[in-house]
Amino acid sequence: MRSKLTTRAGRIEEFKVKNRTGRDDAASSGQAGSDIAQQSTATPSRARMRSDDYAKLFQDLEQELLKGAKSIGVLGLTGVTFQLISSMISVGLGSRIEAVYAFPSATEVDRLPVPVRPFAALADSNHDVLVVASDEDKEDLLRAAIPFVKSAPKVIVAGYGHLQFRDGAFLQELSKLLVPSLANGYPNTLIHLYQCLTNAAQLGLNGVIAEFGMFKGGTTMFLSQVVERLGMDWPVIGFDTFAGFPPRRSLLDMYDHEGCVFTDLSAVKRYLASRNVEIIPGDIVETCHRLETEDIVLSFIDTDNYSPAKAALEIVQHRTVVGGAIVFDHFTGVDRFRYTLGERIAGSALLSDPRYFHLHGTGVFYRQR
Query: Interface residues with ligand SAM (CB under 6 A)?
Result: 181-183, 211, 213-215, 218-219, 239-241, 244-246, 260, 262, 283-285, 302-305, 308
The nearest distance, CB 227 to ligand SAM, in angstroms, is 16
Closer CB to ligand SAM, residue 102 or residue 284? 284
CB 45 within 8 A of CB 137: yes
Helices of type H across the chain: 2-28, 32-41, 51-66, 79-90, 138-145, 168-175, 189-203, 218-229, 265-271, 284-287, 306-319, 341-347
Closer CB to ligand SAM, residue 113 or residue 217? 217
Tell me if residue 170 falls in helix, strand or coil. helix
Closer CB to ligand SAM, residue 137 or residue 240? 240
Closest CA to 309 of 230, 228, 250: 250
Gap between the Cα atoms of 58 and 56, Å rounded: 5
The nearest distance, CB 312 to ligand SAM, in angstroms, is 9
The nearest distance, CB 175 to ligand SAM, in angstroms, is 16
Burial (CB < 10 A; 0-12, 13-18, 19+), residue 211, is buried
The nearest distance, CB 343 to ligand SAM, in angstroms, is 9
Closer CB to ligand SAM, residue 51 or residue 266? 266
Q: 102: which strand partners? A: 118
Closer CB to ligand SAM, residue 34 or residue 181? 181
Helices of type H across 204-330: 218-229, 265-271, 284-287, 306-319
The nearest distance, CB 300 to ligand SAM, in angstroms, is 7
Closer CB to ligand SAM, residue 64 or residue 343? 343
The nearest distance, CB 194 to ligand SAM, in angstroms, is 13
The nearest distance, CB 306 to ligand SAM, in angstroms, is 10
Which DSSP symbol is given to 54? H
Tell me if residue 134 falls in helix, strand or coil. coil
Closer CB to ligand SAM, residue 172 or residue 181? 181
Closest CA to 144 of 165, 130, 159: 130
CB 218 within 8 A of CB 179: yes
The nearest distance, CB 333 to ligand SAM, in angstroms, is 13
Residue sitting closest to ligand SAM (CB): 213
Gap between the Cα atoms of 148 and 169, Å rounded: 31
Closer CB to ligand SAM, residue 234 or residue 337? 337
Q: 238: which strand partners? A: 211, 279
